[in-house]
Structure 1
Amino acid sequence: MSVQFQQDFCARSVSEELISRELSLEEEMFNRGRTRFLANVNRLREQKNEGGTSYGKMLIKRGIEPLAGAVDAFMTKAKSGGAGRRHMAVNLLDGMDSDVVAFITLRTAIDRLTRGVLLQGVAVTIGREIEAEQRLTNLKENDKSRYQLTQRYIQGHSSRKYRSTVLRYAFGKSETVDFEPWPEVKCLHLGQKLIELAIESTGFFMVAPKYDGGFKGANEKYPYQLAPSASLNDWINQHLEKASIMYPDYMPTLIPPKPWVGASGGGYYFREMRPLNLVKTTDRNYLELMDKKIQSGEMPDVLTSINALQATPWAINRPVYEVAQHLWDHTDGGVADMPPRDGYRLPACPVCGADITDSASAHVSHACLDGLSDEELKKWKRAAAIIREKNISCMSHRLGIAKTLNLASKYKDEEAFYYPYQLDFRGRIYAVPAYLTPQGTHLSKALLCFAKGKPLGNMTAVKWLAIHGSNTFGNDKVSLDDRYSWVLQHQEKIKAVAEDPYNNTWWQEADDPWGFLAFCLEWSGYLLEGLEFISRLPVAMDGTCNGLQIFSLILRDETGGAAVNLLPGEKPQDIYGIVADKVKKALEAQAARDTAGADVYAKGSDIPLYNEVICARFLLTLPINRKMTKRQVMVLPYGGTFDSCREYTEEWLKEQVYGDTPVEMPAGHTLRAVARFLAALVWDAIGSTVIKAREAMTFLQDVAGILNKADLPARWTTPVGFYVQQFYREQNGRRVKTKIGDSLVYLTLNEAKQDKLAKPKQKSAISPNYVHSLDAAALMRTVCRCISRGIDNFAMIHDSYGTFAADSEQLSRLLRSTFVELFGGTSNMLELWSREVMAAVPDAVLQKTDALPVVPSFGGLNVEDVTNSLFFFA
C-alpha cells in the first residue's frame, strides 16, 4: 500500500481491511469493464458484424474517402476507351455513388476481418450487397410508392438482416420492376475488383493462403483468405488494449471517495483505472483552465458541494429490497410499475387454451393454429404482435430493474457505501455509477437510505416525514397541513402495509409505489418509537418546474412566478393545471361557434386540414387536464418549441384514441391535424402564463446567434464561480446512406475541422444550458450553507433537495434564502451574462449586426416573497 494512499486516509481513520476491500472492489470494476468490452467485440465478430465494433467504425470512416476515390479513378479509366478488355464491374457499378460502393465494400470486408473467411466468399458477399443496392435503386425508380412504404416500415429498426428481408420482400411483390438477378460469377468478379481497390487504397487488407494444418502436394494450393494487413493487425491490438480499460464498470465505493482537489483525480483510488475528470469532457484545454481556476481559489463552493455529496454514507433499505426482489422473482408483472421479469406472455392458443409463448420463441409451430380460419389467425397474430411490441418497449426497463436489484444484493450487507460524483459542463452534479444511485429511478431511490440516521427529535421533523410520504403517494396538490393530515387519516393502512406489504397492496396504488413503501416502513418505526426514532429515509422537497421558477426570478415575472409558487399562498399553484384550464376555455369558446367558416387550410391548398369547431367539440369529450399539458410546459425553459409542443400533444392524443377504450376520430379529420389544432391552443396558453420565460429564451438565442456569426462558443461564469463552456463541435463530414438503411457520417481530409461550431445546436441549446447552470449553482450554494449549519447528509437531484427529516425544516429555510441571495440582486442577470459572453465578440462582427438583442425588462415580482412561499420547494 502506497504512502500517499495511507496519507489520504490518515485523517479519516479508515481501517486497512476496508481500504484493502475497496482496492479489490475497484480492481473488480476495472476487470469487469475490460471483460465486458472484449466480450462485446467477440460477440460482434461472431455475428459477422465486426464493422460495429469501435475499431470497425473507425476503419470504415477512415477508408471511405480513399476507396471511393479509387473507385472513381477505376471507373473513369475504364470508360475512357483505352485498349484492353472492359471489366464487367464497370457495368455493374454504373450509376452508383462511389461513397456507397466504398461503404458497402468496407463494411462487408471488415465484418469478416478477423474470422479468416475465404477470399471468394467475401467477394461474392460484396457483389450480392452491391446487387441488392442496385435492385432497391430500381425499386425506388420504378415503384416509388412501395419503396417509400417499406422505408417507413423499416425506420428505426437496427437489425440489418430484418431491413434487408423487408426490402427484398417488397421488391418481390412489386409488379412494375424488372431486374435480372446477377449470376454468382458476376458477383465474384465485382467483389474481387473492389477488394483489390480496397487493398491498394487503404492498406487495411491483404490476401494470404489459409493454412488448415494439413499437408498439400506439390501441385495443390491452399485457398486464399482476406486478412488484416500486418500494420492493421498491430493497430487493432493496440486499440483493443487501450479501449478495453477506458470503461470500468463503476460501482459505489466502500470508503469515502477520493475528494476533488483539482480538475482530475477524484472519486476512485485504483491506479490502473483511468483518472476521472471533475467535468465530463475530453477538452484538455478546458480542463487545464478549470484546474487553474480551482488552484487560484475561484470555485470553493463547487468543490465543497461535490465533496459533501461524495462523503454522504448510504446503505441498502433491506425491507424494501426484500419486497422488490420477491415481487421480481415471483410475479407475472404489472406490480408496482414492474414489468414481468421474463416479459409478457403471448395470448393463449384460441383452440386449446395452452400457453404457447415458449414454443413460439423457440420457433416451434403449434398445430392448433393451423386449423384456424384466416380471420381467426389474423386476430391472434395481431394480439401476439401487440405483446411482442410491448416486450420490446419494456426490455430496457426489465434490464434496468435486474441490474438495480443485482447491485442492491451486492451491497445489502454493507454498513455504508458512497457515491463518487462528477459535473457536466453546466455544473450539474451526477453520480458516476449507474442504476442503483440516489438520482436513479423510483425503485433505485427507495432501495437506498442514509447509513447513519438521525433521531426525529420534534414534531416539525415528523411533519416533514409525513409530507414526504404524502408526496410519494401523489397527494401533493394540497397544502402542507393537508398532506400531514392525510397521513394521519391513513395511519392504519400505512401500518398494515409496513407489517405485511405482500398482502396489503394499497402501497402499489401510489404514484411512486416504492418510495411510498419506504415511507410506510419508516412511519411505522416512528409510531413504535416516537420522537426518539432514528430516521434514515431521505426526505425530498422538489421545485415547481424549477426552470420556469429561475426565469421568473431573474426577470421578476409576477404572472409566471405566481404559477410556479414563487408567491405565498394557502394552496400550491399547479402551472400544468392552469395551462390546461386556459386550453379548455379556449376549446369551449371554439365549440360554441358555427362550423361554417371554421375550416383551416394549408398554404396554397383548397382542401381543409381541419374544422376548428369540430375539433374543439371532439376534444372536449377527452380529459383536458394537467396530464395533457405537463410535458409541453415542463420542457419550455429547456428549449421547448412549438414543434416539440405539437409532438407531445400528438403523443397524448394517440394515447386517448388508441388506448384501452378506443375513440373514433371525427369524420374527415386526421389525428395529426387535430393534434396540431390542440397544440396551437396549448402553446398560446403557455405563452400567456409564462410571459417573461419566453422573452428570456428569445434573448438567449439571439445572443447565441451573434456568437455564431463570430464563430465563438458561449462561455460564462455561474454565481458560484463555475466556468461554463458551451461548445458543440460539428462533424462536418459527408453522410453516406444505403437504400437498405445503413448510414454513416465520415470525415474527409479537407472537412475534419474539430473546432468548427455546430451553430444550430449552439443556438437551440443555450436556453436549457443557461438555466441548468443556474440551478446547479443554487444547489451548490445551498449545500455549502447547509454544511455551515451542521447538515452533512444529502440526497440531491438538480431541482430536488433531500436530507434527514430532522434537518428538513432548516434545509427548507436555507434553500429559500439561497435563491433570494443568488437571484434577488438589483442587476439584471441576463444583462450581466450577455456582457460576459459578448466580450469576446470582435467589433467588426458587432458593427455588421443590425441591432443588438434587447435585454428583457423586469416585471413586478418581489423576490423576497420566495422566503415566505411554502410551496416554492415542497
Structure 2
Amino acid sequence: MDFNSLLQKINIKRQLILEEGCVKSGEISSIEQHEESFKRQDLHFNQDMSDLMKEWQKQILPEVEKLANNSVSNSIVNSKVNEICRDLPPEVMSTLCVFAILKEMSFYKSKYEADEVEDIKEARLATVATRIGQAICAEYTRYRLSLTDLSSLSKMRTGSVQFNRFYNKIYNKESHLMIEPSILSEVEINIGAVLLDIFLEKCTIVLKQKDSNKQFEVAALKRSYETTESGAVGILSFHPSVVKKLAASKNSSSINLHLLPMLCSPKTWTNYENGGYLTTRNSLLRTNKNIEQLNYLKQVCNTDDNKIPVVLSGVNTISQTAWTINKDVLQVVLHLWNSGEEFASIPPANFLELTDPKNPNNLLGLDLNDDSVIQSAKYNKKKELRNMRQKFFSIRCTESYKIELARAFCGEKMFFPHSLDFRGRAYPINVYLNQLGNDLSRGLIQFWDGKPLGKSGLTWLKIHLGNCFGMSKKTFIERVKFSDDNYAEIMKDCEDPLRPNAFWRTAEDEFQALATIIEIGAAMKNPTGIENYVCHVPVHQDGSCNGLQHYAALGGDVDGASKVNLLPYERPQDVYSAVCDIVNRKVKEEYEANKDNEVYSKRYEILKDIITRKVVKQPVMTTVYGVTAYGAKLQVAKQLMKLSVYNNDKSLSLRHGFYIANKIFDSINELFSNAEKIQDWLGLSSKLISKSLVIPKINDLKKKKIDVESVSTLIWTTPLGLPVVHPYRVSSKYTINTSLQSVSFTKKTSISKVDVSKQSNAFAPNYIHSLDASHMLMTAQKCLEKNITFSSVHDSYWSLAADADDVGSILREKFVELHSSDLIAILKEEFKTRYRDNVLRCRFLASSPLADEIRNYRLQLKKKIGHNPSIKDELTLEGFRAHFLKSDDPKEVAKGRSMKTLLSILETYDSEEIKNYMLDPKDKIRSVDYITGYAPIEFPEVPLKGELNLDDVKKSLYFFS
C-alpha cells in the first residue's frame, strides 16, 4: 500500500471523528465532559462564562427530558417535533440550545458594536428561535445516519463501489425519517420556540446585593416587544451581567465542524444528494430550500441515462483536488498577526483604541471631546468611528478564523468539497479557508501533490509573480523580465521575508506573491537543478472580462472579440482601455458639436483629462451582469469623488457620473453590437415567459385552486444538461403559532407569482454565468482525463506551473467546443418546447371578424356556466381540450377537436391575419375599440451572428492569462 492510500485510510477514520463533532449523538452528557472538544472547535469562553453555560444546561435539562413524553399530535409538524424530542438525547438538545442562543445573541451583543453596555443591540425572538431549531434539525439529520454503521466506512476506500453501495444502504434506510423540505422551516421554528421558552423560564444568573452581599437570582434572558411597521416584534436581551461576562470572554463564536476542510477525499457525487462530507446529507445544488429547483435536478438525475455526467465529473475533480497549508507563508503571517500591527488591509490589534471617540488620537484625527466641535459634526464622526470599529472587528474575526484553521491543518492533506449554485457555478462547501477567499486565504494554501517544474514551470512562476504585482496586461515576456529584473529582491525576501521594505509587501496580492517568491527562490537553489524542483504553488490563468468573452462568442462580434483576447495578438488586449478611449472620443465629439453651449464647455473642461481606465472599469465589468444605469452612475461617481477637481462635490460627481455611464454603455454597444442584441433578446424572452399564462394540465384541473397567471418561472438547460431554475418569485407571508408567540415568515413555492422585474433583469447575467460554469466544468473533466491537478475560482483557472501550458490549451479548446453550436438558437427551441402550453394576454381590434367570433364564443360559454367567463374559466377549457387532443382514445381526440375555445378559433386564421388584428401592447386606444384575449407565446427571432471565426481562439495566447 503506497503512502497516499495509507493516509487516506487513516484520514477516513479521523474525518468521521471530526464530523461527529462535539455533540456526538447519544454520547454527550454535559458541557463539562466536552470542554476540551469545545476548545478544539474555537469555542473559547473564559472560566466564568463556561461555568455559567454548564449551569444553564443543568437548569434546562429536566424540562428537555420531559419533551420526549409529549402527547401524540395529528399535525404533521408537531408529530415531527415530538419525534425529534424522542430520538435525540436530551443532553444533546440542551447543549445545542445553550450554544445556539449564545452564538446568535453574541453576534448582536458584541462589545465592539457599542460604546457602552447600555447601547448594546437586542436580537429578535423569531431569529433566535429559528437558529436553535436549525441546530437541532441539523443534528437530528446526522443522528438518523447511524454512527455505528458509518464507522465501518473507515475500512473502505472513499468513492469505491463498495463505499457508495454501503453508504446508500444506510442513507436510504433512514431517508423516510428525515425532515421533509416542505415542513422544515415550520419544524425548525416550532422546536426552537419550545426550547427557547424553557431557557427563558429556567435559566438564571446569580447576583449579589451591594449592601448586604446577599445572593439572589434573576432571569438570564428577558423577553420584551418592539413596535415596528409590520406590528409588534418579540425582542430578547441578556441581563447586563451576562453581557459583561460575554464581553470578557476571548470569543463567543463557533466554527461549524461540518464546514471545515476534509481530511480525506470527499464522497464522489453520483447524483443530486450523494456526495461531499461522509456523514452529512449534502445537496449538489444550493437550492436555498427552493423545492422547484431540486425537483428538476432530481428528474434529470433519476433518468435511466444520467444527463449530467460532465457536471458531476467536473465537481468531483475540483472537490478531490488535495491541498495543504503553505508552512513558510503561515510562519510569516503568524509573526505579523502576533505583532499586533496593521498589515495587508488587516487592521491593527488595538483598533478599539483607535476607533474610540473619547480618544483624541483616533483614526479620524478629530478630538471629539473638544467643545468647540459642532454637535452635528460630532455625531457624524462618532457614527463613522463606530462603523469603522464594526468593520475592523469583522475583518479581525474573519482573518483570525483563517489563521487558526491554517494552524490546525498545517501539515495535513486536506480537501474542499464543492457544490453548485442554481446556475451551475462551483463553490466550496467548507467556509473560512479555501481558494475562493481573499489574498491571505490563497497565499496560505497550496497543492498537496507537487510536480517537477520541467522546461516551462519556472517561466510560469515568473508570469504568475508578475500577475501578483498587477502586470496582467503586460506581455508574458515583460512579466518574466519583471521577475528577472527583481531577482536580487526576490532572493533577499526568500532569506528574510520579514525584512524592512520587503519586496513582496509592494505587490497587489501580497501573500500570493510571497508564496511565489519563496517557490522561485527554492527552485533556483535546488541542488538537482531548477527543472527537477517539485513545485506545489498554484499558478492562475484568468479570463479577460469573461462575461464579454462569452457575449462576443455568442454574437460573433469581431471587434469585441479582439478587445477581450479571443483573437491572437502579440500583446494582451484591454477592453477597459478600449472602452475608455471610445468614451473620451464621444465626449470630445459632443463638445466639438456644441462648443458655443456653456453647459457643454464647462463639463468638457472638467472631463477632458480625467476619464481613465479606472473610471470606466467597474461599469464595463458589471454590464454583462445586469448593472443598471443608476448603478453604473454610482460606480463612476465613486471614482470621480476621489479626484481633487470635484472637491467633495457629490452632486456634481453624480451628474457627471450619469453622463459618463451613458457614454460607457454606448461605447460597449459599439464594440459589442451583436452582444447588445442578444442581451435584449434574452431580456425580452424572459419577460414574455414571466408574464405568460399557463394552460392547466389535467392533474392541475382536479385541484380546487388553480393559478394560471404569472406562475411560469424561467427555466433553461445548460450545454452540459444541468437544469437552471430562476428562484425569483414573490414571497407569500405565513404565520405559525408557537409556544412563545405567533411568528411570521415568508415562503416561496412553485405556484407563487413570479417577480417579473427580477426574472427579466437577472436572465442575461445568469445565462452568462451558466455558460462560464459549463466552460469550467468541461475544463475540469479534461484535466481529470489528463491527470492534471486543477482548481478554479469561476473564471480563474489554477494548476501547477508545469501543467500551465496544457491547461491553457484545454481551456481554449473547451471554449471553442462550448460555442461551436448556436447556443441562442438552441435556447429558443427549448423555450418553444418548454412553454408551448403558455399563452400571452393580448388585444384584438373590436371591429375585426376575429373579435366577432370571440364575442360569440364567450356569449355561448356564459349561457353554459351562468356567469361572464373569466380568464381562468377559458384556460380551464383549454386544459381539457389539450388533454383530449393528446389522448390515445379516438373518442377523446374527437371530443377535443369538437370543443370550441379561444385557441381553436385562432387556429382557423393564419399567422398574418392574427398579427393584423392584434394591437401592439404600446398602442393607446379606447377600451371600446378592442377586446382582450390571449394567443400562444411567440419568441422573437434570434439575432444574426457576426463573422467571428472561433478557431482563432485556439491561437490566442492571452485568451486566459
TM-score of the pair, normalised by structure 2: 0.62
Distance 1:853 1:443 in 2: 48
- Spell out the pairing of 1:444-523 with structure 2 (5 A cutoff): 444-458=441-455, 460-503=456-499, 504-523=501-520
Residue identity in the other structure for 1:613: S
- Spell out the pairing of 1:292-303 with structure 2 (5 A cutoff): 292-294=299-301, 296-303=305-312
Distance 2:297 2:254 in 1: 25
Check whether the contact 2:713–2:726 (CA below 8 A) recurs between aligned residues. Answer: yes
SS at match of 1:839: helix
Residue identity in the other structure for 1:677: Y
Which residue of structure 1 lines up, in the alignment, with residue 656 of structure 2?
A: 674
SS at match of 1:465: helix
Match of 1:400 among 398, 405, 430: 398
Distance 2:368 2:309 in 1: 70
Check whether the contact 1:310–1:419 (CA below 8 A) recurs between aligned residues. Answer: yes
Which residue of structure 1 lines up, in the alignment, with residue 950 of structure 2?
A: 863
Residue 285 of structure 1 and its aligned partner are, at CA, apart by 5.7
Which residue of structure 1 lines up, in the alignment, with residue 814 of structure 2?
A: 818
Q: Deviations over 1:238-262 (max 9, x none)?
A: xxxxxx9997641001111111111
- Spell out the pairing of 1:371-770 with structure 2 (5 A cutoff): 372=370, 374-375=372-373, 386-414=384-412, 416-458=413-455, 460-503=456-499, 504-529=501-526, 530-590=530-590, 596-597=596-597, 611-622=599-610, 624-656=611-643, 663=647, 665=649, 670-710=652-692, 711-733=711-733, 755-770=752-767
Distance 2:823 2:553 in 1: 10
Query: Taking structure 1 as reference, are residues 745 and 655 closer, same or farther at Cα in structure 2, changes over 3 Å only?
Result: farther
List alignment gaps of at least 5 residues for structure 2.
25-40, 44-95, 110-120, 134-194, 203-216, 236-252, 693-710, 736-742, 841-933
Distance 2:728 2:275 in 1: 26
Distance 2:609 2:808 in 1: 42
Distance 1:114 1:720 in 2: 50
SS at match of 2:839: helix
Distance 2:375 2:349 in 1: 28
Residue 517 of structure 1 and its aligned partner are, at CA, apart by 1.0
Check whether the contact 2:538–2:798 (CA below 8 A) recurs between aligned residues. Answer: yes
1:833 and 2:835 are equivalent in the alignment: no
Check whether the contact 2:682–2:764 (CA below 8 A) recurs between aligned residues. Answer: yes
Q: Deviations over 1:610-635 (max 9, x none)?
A: x333223223353x222111110111
Residue 722 of structure 1 and its aligned partner are, at CA, apart by 1.8
Distance 2:752 2:3 in 1: 45
Distance 2:439 2:833 in 1: 44
Greater CA deviation, 504-513 or 466-475? 504-513
Which residue of structure 1 lines up, in the alignment, with residue 346 of structure 2?
A: 338
Residue identity in the other structure for 1:676: F
Distance 2:224 2:11 in 1: 57
Check whether the contact 2:418–2:427 (CA below 8 A) recurs between aligned residues. Answer: yes
Residue 56 of structure 1 and its aligned partner are, at CA, apart by 6.7
Which residue of structure 2 lines up, in the alignment, with residue 852 of structure 1?
A: 939
Greater CA deviation, 585-594 or 419-428? 585-594
Query: Taking structure 1 as reference, are residues 678 and 695 closer, same or farther at Cα in structure 2, changes over 3 Å only?
Result: same
Distance 1:330 1:845 in 2: 67
Query: Taking structure 1 as reference, are residues 485 and 670 closer, same or farther at Cα in structure 2, changes over 3 Å only?
Result: closer
Query: Taking structure 1 as reference, are residues 843 and 256 closer, same or farther at Cα in structure 2, changes over 3 Å only?
Result: closer
Match of 1:25 among 2, 14, 18: 18
SS at match of 1:475: coil
Check whether the contact 2:355–2:389 (CA below 8 A) recurs between aligned residues. Answer: no
Residue identity in the other structure for 1:625: T
Residue 580 of structure 1 and its aligned partner are, at CA, apart by 1.4
Query: Taking structure 1 as reference, are residues 398 and 700 closer, same or farther at Cα in structure 2, changes over 3 Å only?
Result: same
Distance 1:439 1:560 in 2: 29
Residue 57 of structure 1 and its aligned partner are, at CA, apart by 10
Residue identity in the other structure for 1:539: V
Query: Taking structure 1 as reference, are residues 328 and 376 closer, same or farther at Cα in structure 2, changes over 3 Å only?
Result: farther
Q: Deviations over 1:193-218 (max 9, x none)?
A: x99xx9xxxxx99xxxxxxxxxxxxx
The percentage of aligned residue pairs carrying the same residue is 27
- Spell out the pairing of 1:356-367 with structure 2 (5 A cutoff): none
Residue 499 of structure 1 and its aligned partner are, at CA, apart by 1.4
Distance 2:686 2:485 in 1: 53
SS at match of 1:845: strand
Greater CA deviation, 308-317 or 586-595? 586-595
Check whether the contact 1:280–1:422 (CA below 8 A) recurs between aligned residues. Answer: no
SS at match of 2:541: strand
Check whether the contact 1:522–1:535 (CA below 8 A) recurs between aligned residues. Answer: yes
Residue 685 of structure 1 and its aligned partner are, at CA, apart by 1.9
Check whether the contact 2:323–2:447 (CA below 8 A) recurs between aligned residues. Answer: yes
Distance 2:662 2:198 in 1: 54
Residue 700 of structure 1 and its aligned partner are, at CA, apart by 0.7
Residue 854 of structure 1 and its aligned partner are, at CA, apart by 2.4
Distance 1:775 1:628 in 2: 26
Check whether the contact 1:29–1:249 (CA below 8 A) recurs between aligned residues. Answer: no
Residue 800 of structure 1 and its aligned partner are, at CA, apart by 0.8
Which residue of structure 2 lines up, in the alignment, with residue 69 of structure 1?
A: none
Choose between structure 1 and 2 for higher RCO, CA contacts under 8 A separated by at least 6 residues. 1
Distance 2:603 2:827 in 1: 44
SS at match of 2:259: coil
RMSD: 4.2
Residue identity in the other structure for 2:259: Y
Query: Taking structure 1 as reference, are residues 265 and 465 closer, same or farther at Cα in structure 2, changes over 3 Å only?
Result: same
- Spell out the pairing of 1:273-284 with structure 2 (5 A cutoff): 273-284=280-291
Check whether the contact 1:44–1:53 (CA below 8 A) recurs between aligned residues. Answer: no
- Spell out the pairing of 1:134-283 with structure 2 (5 A cutoff): 249-270=258-279, 273-283=280-290
Query: Taking structure 1 as reference, are residues 332 and 387 closer, same or farther at Cα in structure 2, changes over 3 Å only?
Result: farther
1:49 and 2:58 are equivalent in the alignment: no
Check whether the contact 2:340–2:350 (CA below 8 A) recurs between aligned residues. Answer: no
Number of residue pairs the alignment of both structures matches? 663
Residue identity in the other structure for 2:565: N
Distance 1:369 1:645 in 2: 36
Check whether the contact 2:8–2:264 (CA below 8 A) recurs between aligned residues. Answer: no
Query: Taking structure 1 as reference, are residues 346 and 385 closer, same or farther at Cα in structure 2, changes over 3 Å only?
Result: farther
Residue 871 of structure 1 and its aligned partner are, at CA, apart by 0.8
Check whether the contact 2:422–2:724 (CA below 8 A) recurs between aligned residues. Answer: yes
Query: Taking structure 1 as reference, are residues 262 and 10 closer, same or farther at Cα in structure 2, changes over 3 Å only?
Result: farther
Check whether the contact 1:265–1:275 (CA below 8 A) recurs between aligned residues. Answer: yes
Distance 2:285 2:557 in 1: 35
Q: Deviations over 1:104-140 (max 9, x none)?
A: xxxxxx999964599xxx99976xx66x99xxxxxxx
Which residue of structure 1 lines up, in the alignment, with residue 695 of structure 2?
A: none
Query: Taking structure 1 as reference, are residues 514 and 114 closer, same or farther at Cα in structure 2, changes over 3 Å only?
Result: same
Distance 2:477 2:538 in 1: 20
Distance 2:368 2:721 in 1: 69
Q: Deviations over 1:47-101 (max 9, x none)?
A: 7534252537999xxxxxxxxxxxxxxxxxxxxxxxxxxxxxxxxxxxxxxxxxx
- Spell out the pairing of 1:789-804 with structure 2 (5 A cutoff): 789-791=786-788, 793-804=789-800
Distance 1:695 1:30 in 2: 56
Query: Taking structure 1 as reference, are residues 725 and 674 closer, same or farther at Cα in structure 2, changes over 3 Å only?
Result: same
Distance 2:670 2:99 in 1: 52
Q: Deviations over 1:475-532 (max 9, x none)?
A: 1111112211221111111111121111142212111111111111111111112111
Check whether the contact 2:368–2:378 (CA below 8 A) recurs between aligned residues. Answer: no
SS at match of 2:525: helix
Residue identity in the other structure for 1:629: V
Distance 1:646 1:517 in 2: 37
